[in-house]
Chain A
Amino acid sequence: MTLESPPTAESSSLVEVRHVSKWFGPLMALNDISLEIGPGITGLIGPNGAGKTTLLKLLTGQSKPTLGEIRICGHEAWLAKAKAHVGFCPYGDATWDELSGRRLVRVTAGLHGFTGDEAERRTESVLETVGMSDRADRPVRTYSKGMRQRIKLCQALIHDPDLLVLDEPLNGIDPVGREELNELFLRLARAGKAVLISSHILNEMDELADHILFVCRGKLLASGSLETIRDLLDDYPLKVHVSCESPRQIASPLMALESVKSVSVQPPEDLFLEVQNPNRFYAEFGEFATTHDIQLHRLKATDTSAEAVFDYLMERASRPE
């Protein structure tokens, strides 16, 4: 059973995936996947071996689905017309590393059909966007991992695609670089591009992704914003951490609230609640806080992060249907 946010009335779908399955011999990598991707940042998460790489290959037209169809901006994904709309930043390093970064990007521009001044302009523009303008003249062989990643991003952006597919784009990048590039992705998303990021670093997904796709064992098990997915996981009551000066005093009044399922007190100042119906809970709690003087200094839901949601989804996936 897929957890999905209800479809919006207007779906500006840059990417449409309809009932796609992919076999490799007897191995079924993807099993009847249907999804849509629009502008904004979409995070693709899932355990290793779930089929994420296969899905990315299908989206970038490197491979054809065994069943079903994938359309990018209306064209089938493996056609050149579709690929003109897609920029791909793959996981590994496989380039001509004797060339300088600048040269490599210029060559890519040529591969996309740009020539002369247009190609030069785009090269410089894209190098500046990723922050490599002043460092791109040495051969790629001498680059650190972070610099290589940025050059790969340049190659993905050079033709100004509508869909950016990024496989672990921050691999090997230091904390400051991560921030800069995340900022870049946000900018691109706001400019109307669809940015699909496949990553294992879930805490970054928390902040970046508007929309999450969770794939496990070839199936799409959840799709929607993090909040929506969390809400839909209603068999997992929300865990809330409350801290105040005298927790024992408020334990029973809190239990009395309808939405609170259980309260566990941990002296000296913590309470851990399990809560049904979060919206109801917050309203009730707000009421409660204004009527009781409790020297509260913490109210925090502890399992709404991407990591927590991932764990729940994995647990759910491993339960027999």
Chain B
Amino acid sequence: MTPLFEIESLTHRYGSVLALDDLSLSVEPGAIGLVGQNGAGKSTLIKILLGLVRHTAGTVRVYGSDVTRNGVGLRGRIGYMPEREGVLPGLNGIEYVGLAGELNGMPRKQSLRRAHELLSQLGLEEARYRRLENYSAGMVQRIKLAATLVHDPDLLLLDEPTSGLDPDGRTAMLSLLKSLSQRPGKSLLFSTHLLGDIEHVCRHTIIMEKGRVAASESLDEMLVGKADAYLLRWKNAGDAANDVYLAALQQAGAEVSPGEEIGQARAVVPAEWSTRQFFHLARQAEVTLTGLEPEEMDLRTVYRRLVGMETAMPPLVDLAKRGESGVTS
């Protein structure tokens, strides 16, 4: 299968700023998340992939085709949804999406027909003749998505697609994106600051930092947790009882690190351990267990570690003891 992108030694400079620094990346088609700090080079990378910016050095291929030589052709296969701009006030919904289609080379009738269909499917049927400036935040995101889908692109490039949406809107958008990415032959690159969104939709994640790729892995590989580590939660029974419980666990052979709040802990257990002991010891300490699960990394922890960020206060679930990360660049 042709890789989605093949990027070799990509460097981009504008003025005195080095936006991308000898970046190399190869990714298969699928649902991909793109994360990184502001200034890490994400938007520059996206613009280069779209063929809108000519990079200083290196080769960039999308679907096997060189971006500098075949920018226009590739844009016909890509749909880009920018975060904040990209709306033409004064037009109504149908005209906007119809124009998007025509700009991609579709004849007017076909484009309008497809626009009508997409707007129905995205729940914008009633608002289709309303002008874009009268659309709510959620509707704006959906109409931009419709304009992105009108020419049936193989690759969707989305920049913060859930921006401004309320929780219901976000959930709806994320499910939609997930189902779009699962169509055969279609891919999705999703740039966002919300790691939860990426975990929901994407199978592969690219983490960028300072113009380079810090990690590019499938999510499953990234989130491999340490074996024999469990996270415990129990009802707060008072400091004394909690301490007793933790001490008992230590004594029984588990390495225990207390969590952020009372009633949480991480335990690394020896091979012969039976989980029943957690409950047994809890009962003895007069503590009621309310949660037990094998440790799974979350994207947030992986990200922080990769970006070299150590905060004074570890997040609630991941605790003082750090396991090995299963990540390679």
Contact = CB atoms under 8 A, between A and B. Distances in A.
Q: Classify A-B as touching or not with yes or no (CB < 8 A).
A: yes
A178 B291 contact: no
Contacts of A160: none
Query: Secondary structure of the B side of the interface?
Result: mixed
Nearest to A289: B279
A299 B288 contact: no
Interface in B276-294: 276, 278-280, 282-283, 288-294
Interface string B60-73: 00000000000000
A310 B167 contact: yes
A144 B294 CA distance: 39
B96 to A, nearest CB: 21
B292 A296 contact: yes
Contacts of A174: 35-38, 40, 193
Contact of A146 (B38, B167, B230, B294): B38
Contact of B292 (A147, A300, A307): A300
B206 to A, nearest CB: 14
Given A176-B303, A299-B292, A301-B290, A183 B313 contact: yes
A117 interface: no
Given A144-B38, A298-B293, A298-B294, A172 B193 contact: yes
Interface string A140-160: 000011110000000000000
Contacts of B196: 201, 203
B279 A175 contact: no
A179 B309 contact: yes
B138 interface: yes
A145 B166 CA distance: 20
A278 B291 CA distance: 12
A183 B163 CA distance: 23
Given A201-B194, A297-B294, A179 B304 contact: yes
Interface in B160-205: 163, 165-171, 193-196
Contact of B193 (A45, A173, A183): A173
Contacts of A301: 290-291
Interface in A229-276: none
A15 to B, nearest CB: 24
Contacts of B300: 175, 179
Contacts of A66: none
Interface string B266-280: 000000001110111
Nearest to B309: A176
Q: Which 5 A-B pairs have the closest CB atoms?
A: A144-B38, A289-B279, A174-B37, A48-B166, A299-B292
18 contacts: A45-B167, A146-B37, A172-B193, A174-B193, A176-B307, A183-B311, A183-B312, A183-B313, A207-B315, A207-B316, A279-B288, A282-B288, A286-B279, A287-B283, A290-B280, A297-B294, A298-B292, A311-B167
Given A289-B275, A290-B279, 19 more contacts: A47-B166, A48-B165, A145-B38, A174-B40, A176-B307, A179-B304, A179-B309, A183-B313, A200-B170, A207-B316, A278-B290, A286-B289, A290-B276, A296-B276, A297-B275, A297-B294, A298-B293, A307-B167, A311-B167
